[in-house]
Amino acid sequence: MPIAAQLFCCVGLACSSTLPEPPTGPHPADEYIEVPYPPPAAAVEVVPPSPGSDAVWVDGQWLWRGRYYVWQRGGWLIPPAGAYFAPWGKFYTKDGTLYFADGTWRRTSDRARIARPPFVRNAGSPATRNTPESVLTR
């Protein structure tokens, strides 16, 4: 299948609601921190085929690192038992102050933060005019 057709199929999948997602829930209010500006637009990712029926898809996200945002690529993973994913969030107060929380995994019982489970299969990056040929032929 040509690269353009593969990319079209993957982008089409990412835009549909057929990807299995993890259970989601809220952040505790004290997890939001004041930030000076909102995150950039999301990076484009190529969704690879699912590695199995128990895997769920987690989108990539921007993470705040004290002075700037860094992109964390998404991917397929096996959600931990007794846990949920709290997607990144932001809100403004009436005075215009911006608060942000990174997407994190949490225990359902007490909403405590837990380590992100490892990705079984990472998201890819779409081919661009700067993508090396070796990447396009894999």
The model's pTM: 0.78
pLDDT along the chain (138 residues), means of 10: 47 63 96 97 93 96 94 95 97 98 97 96 79 50
Q: Are 83 and 116 in contact (CB under 8 A)?
A: no
- Would 135 be classed as within a structural domain? no
- Would 107 be classed as within a structural domain? yes
- Would 54 be classed as within a structural domain? yes
122 phi-psi bin (left φ>0, alpha ψ -120 to 50, beta other) = beta
- Would 138 be classed as within a structural domain? no
- Would 118 be classed as within a structural domain? yes
Q: 11: domain range?
A: 3-128
- Would 47 be classed as within a structural domain? yes
Which pLDDT score is estimated for 128? 67
- Would 136 be classed as within a structural domain? no
DSSP letters along 60-128, please?
-EEEE-SSSEEEE--EEEPPPTTEEEE--EEEE-TT--EEEE--EEEETTT--EEPPPPEEEEPB----
Which pLDDT score is estimated for 20? 96
Is the alpha carbon torsion for 125, 129, 132, 136 positive or negative?
Answer: positive
- Would 15 be classed as within a structural domain? yes
For residue 103, give both structure tokens: 């997407």
Count of domains in the chain?
1
